[in-house]
Structure 1
C-alpha cells in the first residue's frame, strides 16, 4: 500500500517555488507561535485573570470564522500569491502595533484585543490562500507529496515556536514583537519572490456575492467523499480532544510539572512530524480511504491508552502515536479535498475545511472541559477516545464511497466545476 518514491518523484524538494512557499509557511508559523506565547503571557501578567486567555483566543477566532468564506471566494477570484503576501504583511503590521502598545507602557488589554482582531482577519485570508496556492505551484501529480512536506514544515514550527517564544520573551516583549514582525515580513517576501506563472483565476462575476460565498458549502455537501473526510475529522477531533486536558494530567495524574507539560505538548507534534516526513518520502499506493479510517481508529485507541495511563513514558508515546495517526488522516483528507476539487473552487472549499477545523479545535476544547467536569479527567478522555471509535464505525457506514477510495489520484476524475 505504501512504496518508496523514485528519485524523479522526489523533484518537489528541488522545486524552487515550492521551497519558497515552504519557507514562508515555516517562517509565518514560527512568528504566530512566538506571538501567541508572548501575547498570552503579557496579558495574563497585566490582568492576572485566566479569563483574559479565553478572550485572546476568541478575539482571533471570531473574525476568522466570519471572514473565512469571503476569503475563500477571494482566493478563487484574485491572485492567490497576492492574497497570501498581503495577509502576512498585515500580520507583520499587527506585530508592529503590538510593539507600539508595549513601548507606550499601556496597561489596558483593550488595545491588544483590537490588534488580535486585525490579526484574526488577516489569518482568515492566509488559510485559503495558502492551501489553494499549493496545488497551483506543484501540480496534481506531486500534490500528495507536497502536502506531506507542507504539513511536516508546519509541525516543525509548532514544535519549536512555543519554546522559542518563551526564550525570546526573556529579552522583553518589545523585542519579541519586533522579531515577529520581521518574520511575517520575511514570509511575505518569500511568497512575493515566486516567479512562476500561475493559471488565471476563474471568472465568477456573473454570480451574486451570496452564491459565490456559499458555493464551497454547496460543493462539499454534494460530494460524499469530501463531506465524509471533513466531517470525520470534525467529530474525531471534537471527541478526542485529550490535549486540552494536558495541564491536568501533568499536574495531578503524572506529577511531572511544567517541564513535563512542555514535553507532553511536544509529543503530539513530534509524532506528526515524523509521520509527515515518512509520507513525504513514501507514496501511499492503494486503499487510501481504508487507511484513513484505520488511522482515525488508532487515534481513538491511543487516546484511550493515554487517558488510562499513569506512566509518563507510556503517556508520551501514546501522544506520539496520536500525532502520527492524525498526520495520516490529515494527509489523506487534504489530498482528497485538493484532488477532488477543481482549481476554480479550491479557495472556497478550503475555506469550508478551515471552518470545520476551527470549529473542531475550539469546540473540542470546550467538550473536553465539560465532560471532565461531569465525568472526571480520566473519564472524559476515555469517553472521548471511545466516541472517536464509534464515529469511525458510523462514518464507514454513512460514507461507503470514502471507505472505498483506492488511489488518491482516482478522485480527480469525479470532480466538476459548478456553473
Structure 2
C-alpha cells in the first residue's frame, strides 16, 4: 500500500482527463499531486470503502463526517478546486463524480476496491438522518426534519451565529460587522413591509425571534412568530421576556398551515420556504395570501437554485438531504415568482442578495472555527464537521452562482388599479427612485 497516493492520483487524473486539482496524502504516508496545492488527507482506508458503496458526493461526505477525510490548507480553495468533480464542469455540464452510474466510475470502483480491501461498507456516521416516517412534507415529517436541523442546541447556534441569532443571509456594507449586517437585513425587511405602530406581523419560521423583536422594538408592531422547533421557541420566548415585549410578541410552536387568526397587515418569511417543498409551494403561497388583509404585504426571503434543463430529473442534494436540511428543496427564482402570482399576489419587487450570503456564511464558518473545541463539546465531532463543511460548501456555491438568494416583495392588491404601494416604491433604499 506504499503507493496508495500515486495510484489514487493516477485514477483521479484518468477520470478527470487532466491534472489533479489538489494534493493527496494517504494513510500510509504517501503523497501525490501538485506540490503547491492544498492537501486532501485520507486518514483511513475506510474512506475509500465509503466512496465505493456511495460514489459521488455522499460517499465523500460520509468520510468527511467520520473524520477519515480531511483538508490541510484552505478549505474554501479545496472546495472550489473540486467543484468540477462534485458539481459541474466548465459550462455547467455534470462533473465526473456527479453521475453515480457513469461507466468510468464502475471501472474506478474496481481499482478502489483493490486499494480499500474487500470488506463491507462502514455504517454511516450517526449524524445522518434515518428513519423518516410519513409522506414528504406532511406535518409530522416536517416536524421531524425541522427537529433534526434546529434542535441541536441553542448554545451551538449562538456560537456560530453570534449575538444576533439570525440564521439567514445578512445585508452587508463594506467593512461592516456580522451584527451590523444582520440588523440591517432585519431593518430592510421591516421597511419593505412598511411596518407601522400597531401593525400585525406574522413571522413565519421565526427562528430564535430576532425579526419579531426588531419589528416590535423598532416599529411598534404586534407580532406572532411561528416555528416547529421547540428549542427555538423556548429561546425566543426568553428573549422576548428579557426585553419586556411579551405584550407585543407571541411565539408559537405551530405549523404555518395551522395559523387561522388572520388577517395580518404583513407577513415575513425569511429562510423558511426552502423547507416547504416543491409540491407544497402553491399551498404555501395560498395560505399566506389568505392570512393577509387586502393591501397587506409579504416579504419572502428564499434561497434559489439555477434552472435545470430537465426539471423532471432534478434531484435533492444528497449531502444536504442526509445531514443538513432533510427534505429541503430549492426552486428557481422564476418558479417562486410565478407561484406567488398564481396565488393572487402582485409581485412588486425582487432583490438578489447572492454575494451577501457568501459573506455571511464565511463569517459563520469563522465563528465555528474560532471556537472549535467548544462546538465539538456542545454537539459532537461529526455534527461540527457537518456544519463546517455545509456552510463552507454553500459559500462556494453562492460565489460560483450555483445558488442564489432573493427577496420577493408581494402585495395582496386590494382592488383593480390599486396596490397600496407608493409611486416610487423603493423608499427602503434611502433613495428617491
For the aligned pair, the TM-score class normalised by the smaller chain equals: under 0.3
Q: Name the TM-score, length of structure 1 as normaliser.
A: 0.23
Q: Structure 1 or 2: larger strand share? A: 2
Q: Structure 1 or 2: larger helix share? A: 1
